[in-house]
Chains A and B, each alone.
Chain A
Amino acid sequence: EAQVTQNPRYLITVTGKKLTVTCSQNMNHEYMSWYRQDPGLGLRQIYYSMNVEVTDKGDVPEGYKVSRKEKRNFPLILESPSPNQTSLYFCATLDRAGANVLTFGAGSRLTVL
């Protein structure tokens, strides 16, 4: 079954404590992306990766880092989380064959106190 798996699904942390949200896919897609979802703002892209070792900033990259050492994994790193990073985060992969359809993970709800 085609899947995008994110962990953790829920996390409460404190300001400044580094955390990583993992994302793994089994579809061999080259393109992966992170979004955050906030009420009234829809989904905003944080970072994306066109392929292994290729990453680029999206619309709201401040306070985040990513890495793409292998095709299947695309972790999102918050080096020093702040309360304004409290949000719902989604990882997604893009199938660039055909209609460029995104497949999303189930989401990771992060609360920074």
Chain B
Amino acid sequence: GEDVEQSLFLSVREGDSSVINCTYTDSSSTYLYWYKQEPGAGLQLLTYIFSNMDMKQDQRLTVLLNKKDKHLSLRIADTQTGDSAIYFCAEIFTGGGNKLTFGTGTQLKVEL
């Protein structure tokens, strides 16, 4: 079956770059996603990348996709305290049901 793995915690200093990593298993995924969950809130889509792309940049966010290694990363430049949240990567399983499989989530803590 499909499986998505992430490290549970990351701590960075304000102004540094954060890199959150994710590995996935379904090589037929068409899209891969990063969702952000702030305390007490639901998940919100941060960005996504189509599987035929290697990189996508959106302001402070850079997504890198290595299909050979099934590795996805999210880089946040100039990390701010407002970036403190849980970040989930997800892949869509094309085997049926349009099911998104989520990783365990990485808690990002930004320290002053």
Contact with A along B70-112 (1 / 0, CB 8 A): 0000000000000000001000100001111011110000000
Q: B8 interface residue, CB < 8 Å from A?
A: yes
Contact across chains for A45 and B99 when beta carbons are under 8 A apart: yes
Is A105 a contact partner of B102 (Cβ separation < 8 A)? Answer: no
> Do A106 and B42 have beta carbons less than 8 Å apart?
yes
In the complex the two chains form, is B104's CB within 8 Å of A99's CB?
A: no
What count of chain B residues pass the 8 Å CB interface test? 25
Q: Given the complex, which residues of B lie within 8 Å of A94, measured CB to CB?
A: 98, 100
Per-residue A-contact encoding for B40-54, CB less than 8 Å = 1, 0 else = 111111001010000
Instruction: Give the size range of A's interface with the partner.
Output: 20 to 34
Q: Give, as a whole number of angstroms, the nearest-CB distance from A45 to chain B.
A: 6
Q: Which stretch, A12-20, A36-44, A60-68, A75-83, touches the partner chain B?
A: A36-44
Q: Do B104 and A107 touch across chains, with their CB atoms under 8 A apart? A: no
Q: Which residues of A contact B42 (CB under 8 A)?
A: 4, 90, 104-107
Instruction: Please report the C-alpha to C-alpha distance between residue A105 and residue B112 in the assembled complex, in whole angstroms.
Output: 31
Kindly state the separation between the CA atoms of A43 and B103 in the bound complex, as whole angstroms: 7
Q: Which 10 residue pairs spanning A and B have beta carbons closest together?
A: A104-B42, A42-B104, A43-B102, A42-B102, A104-B43, A106-B42, A107-B42, A42-B105, A99-B31, A101-B45
Please report which residues of chain A, range 73-95, place their CB below 8 angstroms from some CB of chain B when the two chains form the complex.
Answer: 90, 92, 94
Given contacts A42-B104, A45-B99, A94-B98, contact A99 B48 (CB under 8 A): yes
Closest to B41 in A: A106
Contact residues of B: prevailing secondary structure:
strand
> In the assembled complex, how far is the CB of residue B28 from the closest CB belonging to chain A, in whole angstroms?
14
Residue A113 is within 8 A (CB to CB) of chain B in the complex: no
Question: Measured between alpha carbons, how far is A105 from B6 in the docked complex, in Å?
Answer: 23
The answer for the CA separation of A107 and B100 in the assembled complex, in Å, is 18
Smallest distance from the beta carbon of B47 to chain A beta carbons, Å?
10
Q: Which of B30, B40, B97 contacts A50 (CB 8 A)?
A: B97
A3 to chain B minimum Cβ distance, whole angstroms, is 11
Residue of B nearest to A56 (CB): B97
